[in-house]
Amino acid sequence: MEGSVTTTTVTFSLTPSARERFVSSIAIESSASSSTPAGRLPESRDPATGEVWHRYAVADADAVRSAVARARVAQPAWAALPPRVRAGAIDAFVQKLLSRREEAATIIARENGKPVGEALGVDLGVSLGLAEHFAKVAPRFLRPRWQRSTALMAWRKRVTLVREPHGVVGIISPWNYPMFLPLSSAIPALLCGNAVVNKPSEWTPGIAEFLRECLLESGVPTDIYQVVHGAGATGAALCDEADKIFFTGSEATGRKVALACARRLIPCALELGGSDPAIVLADADLQHAASGIAWGRFSNAGQTCVAAKRVFVEASVYEPFLAALTKAVGALRVGPGTDDTTDIGPMIRPEQRATIAAQHAEAMARGAHEVLRLPTPEGAGYFAPTILTDVPSDSRAMTEETFGPLLPVTSVRDVEEAIARANDTTQGLSASVWTGDVMRGVAVAQRLQAGSVVINDACSAAGIGDVPHGGFKASGLGKVHGEMGLQECVRTKVVMVDWFQGWRQPWWFGYSRAHRDNISAFLVVAHSSRLLERIRALPRVLRLVFAPARKV
């Protein structure tokens, strides 16, 4: 099997430092890869052909420890730079990435399998937008914030909130959107003064190296943004070393990451899976809904966390909607991502195809029906895009995340049943509502247990730089994007200054019965709802503040 693989030259150039790092790390590959499961070695493989066009050395625990140690040494100087200087590096990165957008999209298509045009529109479009947004708003976000406390006990105080970096942030990123998902955490982390060590998916290492090259060429220091390659063991080693972890991936692995972070009492942010519902109401524009749901479900070969994975349609429009959806999906073309006529590419690996095939087979064995199954090219990476009906509610296709081009469509009596069915899941990443009445859609959205709900659109909330994104329930912890995403990248320190130096606090030592009575009076003045009671207590408070019975 190994001897039959064709290896070609990588299509992008590495900087001298990156090339040195690749060559020097080859020496550890033989020993480190012995602990990496077969089929999980970091390599750039075209999902459409199986061709391996680059391999990368596995970073073992010692290599990860060394990378984090270098980052920890370099980070204070990076954090000491004015925020505008760091923002300037990210602005330069935006222009660098824009100038190399075709190259980047081609790497993504060759590693992930999605069409080049889709990689440009989604991966590059979202990445450029979020980087530009964060570079603009981060300097203001990082300014110390003064506030006056409303507490009577703090009337003499000036309170300042200072946002400081965590230190070294570890990012464990997935293969389905291998550019904008790591950048969603990396860009704000860098802007906030952190160093970043990224462990990309072992299936998309090439685009990770490309991003690192672009960042370094834009002014980010070598040890401030590093990439370590490998599978689960490499990610586990990063959890043992970093000061905070951002993880995007499956619920099962997310739980392991959370436990590893809990053992060290370090924070983590998790964006996990979703069994996302789409609700089509009777007043919806059915053609629009069919077109949007078709794109949301089948783009990226169905390998999208926020895609509609269960569709619930009010019974009165079920048949016409199903016809419209079948027509929309039936017009799509399946093929290699490097072909500009392709709408749906292959799944990234045969292992992923096997999972979706098992979910499909179980549904069919239990009485589901295929409404549509698109013809596909031959090859281990392709799974025929399929629409199912009559899928049992407790089948794997309805209760698990279906991470591929498989879509169950279900008729429901009314909106109440649709909401109940939509919420009948352990996950809550996102959802969509399709309706001609926007206010009705908003009312339905407020009853859905999901981190984001879009009305008459698909997936868009997850890709806007100033809109926070994250799930409910077992779909994760924390947020990316927006000010909440920046907040994930800092620790907030309170600095409190007393304006009157040398004036002792009235609650300090010097306890006595008089002190006790005066403290009791203070509580009345501070919190009583009765004005006369507060006035009567005021003399004791003045004695407490200005003439304590017993100073210590």
Task: Classify 400 in phi/psi space as left (phi over 0), alpha (psi -120 to 50) or beta.
Answer: beta
Cβ atoms of 348 and 47 closer than 8 Å: yes
Closest CA to 44 of 238, 201, 211, 173: 201
Q: Which helix (H) or strand (E) holds 436?
A: none
Q: Where are the alpha helices (H) located in 100-201, listed in sequence order?
A: 101-112, 116-118, 125-141, 180-191
Does residue 261 have an active-site annotation? no
Q: Could you confirm whether 401 is annotated as catalytic?
A: no
Helical segments of 424-512, H only? 438-445, 482-487
Q: Which amino acid is at 443?
A: A
* Cα 214 to Cα 97: distance, rounded to the nearest angstrom: 7
Partners of 168 in the β-ladder: 195
SS3 (DSSP) at 31: helix
What CA–CA distances, in Å, run from 243 to 174, 223, 239, 250, 470? 20, 16, 8, 22, 21
Residues 6+ apart with CB under 8 A from 521: 537, 538, 540, 541, 544
**E strand spans, 341-489:** 369-373, 386-389, 406-412, 427-428, 430-434, 452-455, 472-473, 476-477
- Whether residue 244 contacts residue 170, with contact meaning beta carbons closer than 8 Å, is answered with yes
Bridging pattern class, strands 157-165 and 490-498 = antiparallel
- Identify the active-site residue in 43, 209, 271, 400: 271
Spatial CB neighbours of 114, under 8 Å, sequence gap ≥ 6: 108, 299, 300, 301, 337, 345
Terminal Cα-to-Cα distance of the chain (whole angstroms):
82
Q: Give ∠ CA 531-537-543 in degrees, rounded to 5.
A: 145
Lookup: tokens for 43: 């390599």
Assign 250 to helix, strand or coil: coil
If you count DSSP H runs as helices and E runs as strands, how many of each does the chain have, helices first? 19, 20
Q: Considering 239, 305, 459, 489, which one is annotated as catalytic?
A: 305
Phi-psi region of 493 (alpha: psi -120 to 50; beta: other; left: phi over 0): beta
Catalytically annotated residues? 271, 305
